[in-house]
């Protein structure tokens, strides 16, 4: 019989990750409110800042989000005049997302965020790298499972 121990909140491994994720998004709010964007919108812009003009699918692959989440989010970014949404002429099913001048410009205002977030978190570089590598391990492990 599995003991009660394993069902206590304090002994959970997953709850801290879930709580940490919400805490991080909360800390981002401080910076992102000034830019009038949300954290998921910031992630989309970050992907576009690195490589402009991507399809909804390509954004979804990188952010692990589906069209049910991205379509309305991208429409809100379009309303804020930060991105353009255009049907591809080569394949009418595909929607290409590109940055507007304002969307590209926002990158400069966002530049200071990663460093300030790191300071806010109060952890060491080593801990950060450890966290990243464990997260990647789980995500990669389970991505493999889904295909096989």
User: Residues interacting with its own copies, by CB under 8 A?
Assistant: 1-2, 4, 6-9, 11-25, 27-28, 39, 43, 46-47, 49-50, 62-64, 107, 110-112, 114-115, 117-118, 120-123, 127-128, 130-132, 134-139, 141-142
Alpha helices (H) in the chain, listed in sequence order? 14-35, 39-50, 56-63, 67-79, 101-110, 113-121, 125-147
Query: Does 92 help bind DNA (rule: CB under 7 A)?
Result: yes
Closer residue to DNA, CB minimum distance, 22 or 129: 22
- Interface with DNA (CB under 7 A), residue from 11, 15, 20, 29: 29
Strand partners of residue 77: none
> Contact region for DNA (CB under 7 A) — 9-17, 45-53, 85-93, 112-120?
85-93
Q: What angle do CA 113, 51, 85 make, to 5 degrees?
A: 100
The C-alpha atoms of residue 128 and residue 121 are separated, in whole angstroms, by: 10
Query: Does 90 help bind DNA (rule: CB under 7 A)?
Result: yes
Q: What is the DSSP string of 10-34?
A: GG-SHHHHHHHHHHHHHHHHHHHHH
| Smallest distance, its own copies to C-beta of residue 89, A | 28
């Amino acid at each position: 019989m599995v003991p009660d121990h394993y069902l206590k909140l304090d002994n959970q491994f997953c709850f801290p990750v879930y709580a940490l994720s919400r805490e991080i998004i909360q800390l981002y709010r401080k910076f992102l409110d000034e830019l009038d964007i949300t954290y998921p919108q910031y992630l989309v812009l970050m992907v576009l800042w690195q490589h402009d003009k991507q399809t909804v699918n390509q954004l979804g692959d990188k952010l692990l989000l589906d069209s049910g989440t991205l379509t309305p989010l991208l429409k809100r970014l379009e309303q804020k005049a930060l991105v353009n949404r255009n049907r591809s002429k080569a394949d009418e099913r595909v929607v290409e997302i590109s940055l507007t001048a304002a969307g590209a410009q926002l990158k400069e205002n966002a530049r200071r965020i990663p460093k300030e977030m790191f300071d806010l978190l109060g952890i060491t570089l080593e801990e950060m790298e450890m966290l990243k590598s464990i997260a990647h391990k789980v995500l990669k492990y389970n991505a493999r499972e889904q295909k096989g």
